[in-house]
């Protein structure tokens, strides 16, 4: 009689065998009670382990787990950032050479949270801003409405609902501009394919004080400043270069 390894018997108990082997095992089980017992043991173990953890799936899911899936808001972006910063500090203390690059993660987090927010609030609307600011077009986040107008026309440092921080030419030869909206969302947009593609957006913690003029660039979160550093070719545009770029509609 053919003998079967423990792994084959286990696979039989788990329903993983092909037809031919399954039949061979069944035939052998009829003739060999010890073998049948081993199969029964494997089945019992599977049932016991499943039963031991089954009640967990019956428990009410804590709201904190479902919340990020239902309400992707600016607030949760902050909590993600706060958490990341805390972990970043812990990681710095703990070790070098982790598998993950935290700054990249942060930039990605900020970028994608905007995507999530845009999705959550329907047709390209971000919460808080009265006018639409960012929309997803073919999977790319694009500035819209008031933000797009400011990016097109406004000079750096001038006031208004949207403030422009720095304008510069990126290494890929496109123009990029950093911005802060009236709702303290800052980010970086680059003119590509005729649209302002939002490269990154971050919700800042503090609310801006109404009417008080501030140097926009000084308020830029480090994520945005880092994103500028990564892209910039040469120096930021001065006022004259900016004017010219506005006239050329930010096309090279």
Partner 1 sequence: MMDNDSALHEEIATLLPRLRRFARTLAWHREDADDLVQLSVERAILHSSSYQPGTRLDSWLFRIIKNAWIDEVRSRTRRSELFAPEEEGEHVGDDFAEAHQQRMAVQKAVSLLSEEHRLVVGLVLVEGLPYKEAAEVLDIPVGTLTSRLARARTALQEMLSEQARIT
Binding site for partner 1 (CB under 8 A): 6-7, 10-11, 14, 16, 41-42, 45-46, 48-59, 61-62, 64-66, 68-70, 72, 80, 87, 94, 98-100, 108-109, 112-113, 115-116, 118-120, 136, 138-139
Q: For partner 1, which is the closer residue by CB, 68 or 157?
A: 68
Smallest separation, CB 10 to partner 1 (Å): 5
State which H helix or E strand residue 213 sits in. none
Q: For partner 1, which is the closer residue by CB, 95 or 251?
A: 95
Q: For partner 1, which is the closer residue by CB, 98 or 248?
A: 98
3-state secondary structure of 202: strand
Angle, nearest 10°, between helix axes 102-120 and 74-94?
A: 170
Smallest separation, CB 187 to partner 1 (Å): 17
Q: For partner 1, which is the closer residue by CB, 136 or 208?
A: 136
Q: Are 73 and 120 in contact (CB under 8 A)?
A: yes
**Burial status of residue 4 (CB atoms within 10 A of its CB: 0-12, 13-18, 19 or more):** buried
What is the number of helices (H) and of strands (E) in the chain?
9, 6
Smallest separation, CB 138 to partner 1 (Å): 8
Q: For partner 1, which is the closer residue by CB, 88 or 208?
A: 88
Nearest to 228 by CA among 153, 185, 166, 148: 166
Smallest separation, CB 16 to partner 1 (Å): 5
Q: Within a 10 A sphere around the Cβ of 203, how many other Cβ atoms?
A: 25
Q: For partner 1, which is the closer residue by CB, 16 or 26?
A: 16
Smallest separation, CB 45 to partner 1 (Å): 5
Smallest separation, CB 128 to partner 1 (Å): 18
């Amino acid at each position: 009689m053919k003998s079967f390894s423990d792994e084959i018997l286990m696979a039989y108990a788990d329903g993983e065998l092909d037809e031919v082997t399954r039949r061979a095992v069944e035939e052998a089980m009829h003739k060999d009670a010890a073998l049948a017992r081993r199969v029964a043991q494997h089945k019992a173990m599977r049932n016991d382990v499943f039963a031991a953890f089954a009640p967990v799936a019956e428990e009410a899911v804590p709201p904190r787990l479902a919340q990020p899936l239902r309400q992707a808001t600016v607030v949760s972006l902050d909590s993600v950032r706060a958490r990341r910063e805390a972990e970043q500090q812990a990681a710095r203390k703990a070790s070098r050479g982790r598998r993950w690059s935290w700054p990249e993660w942060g930039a990605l987090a900020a970028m994608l949270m905007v995507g999530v927010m845009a999705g959550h609030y329907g047709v390209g609307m971000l919460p808080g801003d009265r006018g639409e600011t960012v929309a997803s077009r073919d999977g790319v986040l694009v500035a819209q409405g008031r933000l797009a107008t400011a990016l097109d026309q406004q000079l750096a440092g001038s006031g208004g609902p949207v403030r422009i921080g720095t304008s510069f030419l990126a290494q890929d030869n496109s123009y990029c501009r950093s911005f802060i909206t009236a709702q303290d969302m800052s980010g970086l947009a680059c003119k590509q394919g005729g649209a302002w593609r939002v490269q990154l957006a971050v919700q800042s913690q503090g609310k801006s004080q109404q009417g008080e003029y501030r140097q926009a660039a000084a308020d830029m979160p480090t994520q945005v400043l880092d994103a500028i550093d990564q892209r910039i070719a040469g120096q930021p545009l001065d006022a004259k270069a900016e004017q010219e770029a506005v006239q050329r509609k930010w096309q090279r």
